[in-house]
Amino acid sequence: MPPMIKIQDVKKHFDNDGVITQVLHGVSFEIHQGEFVAIMGPSGSGKSTLMHILGFLDKLSDGKYFFEGQDVSQLDDDLLASMRSRKVGFVFQAFNLLPRTTVLDNVMLPLMYVKLTSAERIKRAKEAIESVGLGHRINNLSNQLSGGEKQRVAIARALVNNPSVIFADEPTGNLDSKSGLQVMRILQDLNQKQGRTIILVTHEKYTAEHAERIIKIKDGLLESDEKVGNRQVADGVGELRK
């Protein structure tokens, strides 16, 4: 089976009024279906730019990007948006939930442009919400939730379209340690029990060690790509409903 993601010598630069800033200098690796991979690097290393390219939020400047065997290196904006909506789920540090909107409506948002009946949308959203242990919060407004609960809603929203891959960008950055562990536990369960492909972007070593493989980016280059020897297991943090 070909890798889900394959990038070859990917480079990215930004042009600001003729001033060229090179961010990625030629990065290559493969990610296979069902892997849980952390991309690590300090601020300014290029890891977020790389995630934006992998998640179809931005275009590469040079190199090749294959997704599920398809060369997506030169897709136009409309095709990138289509790939993004069908193939990718995102979980961001800032949650990005609609305020004063119910958990159910937040999770249903990605289904607005999918040809489903209202009943089917509700069913799929409820299943996603239950999968992150928030069935009892389904009618609560997002501003009535704790930070950890908000991030679990964001994970449910990322799941609702049944994406090929979930990108989690600093998902524990705004959380206390207990809530952060609960979020990492959910991501691990999605990977281990459902076979979800997860790409975690973080600068925190402890968070990265919940993955099974760590790719380190430094100064726009691949510094290392290693399996996690003593993988952290996010257990013992209490029931998700607490």
In this prediction, residue 230 carries a pLDDT of 66
* Contact in structure between 4 and 167 (CB atoms under 8 Å): no
Query: Nearest 5°: CA angle at 194, between 118 and 75?
Result: 70
- Report pLDDT for 113: 79
Q: What digits encode the pLDDT tens for the residues 43-82?
A: 889 999 999 999 999 999 999 999 999 999 989 999 999 9
| DSSP 8-state secondary structure symbol assigned to residue 10 | E
CA 113 to chain centre: 20
Maximum Cα–Cα distance across the chain: 54
Side chain identity, residue 161? N
Paired residues of 103 in beta bridges: none
Give the residue from 93, 97, 131, 94 showing the smallest Cα distance to 207. Answer: 93
Amino acid identity at 152: R
Query: pLDDT tens digits, residue range 101-132?
Result: 999 999 999 998 788 899 999 999 999 999 99
Full-model pTM: 0.90
> What's residue 237's pLDDT?
36
The segments of the chain whose pLDDT lies below 70 read: 230, 232-242
How far, in Å, CA of 124 to CA of 156, rounded? 10
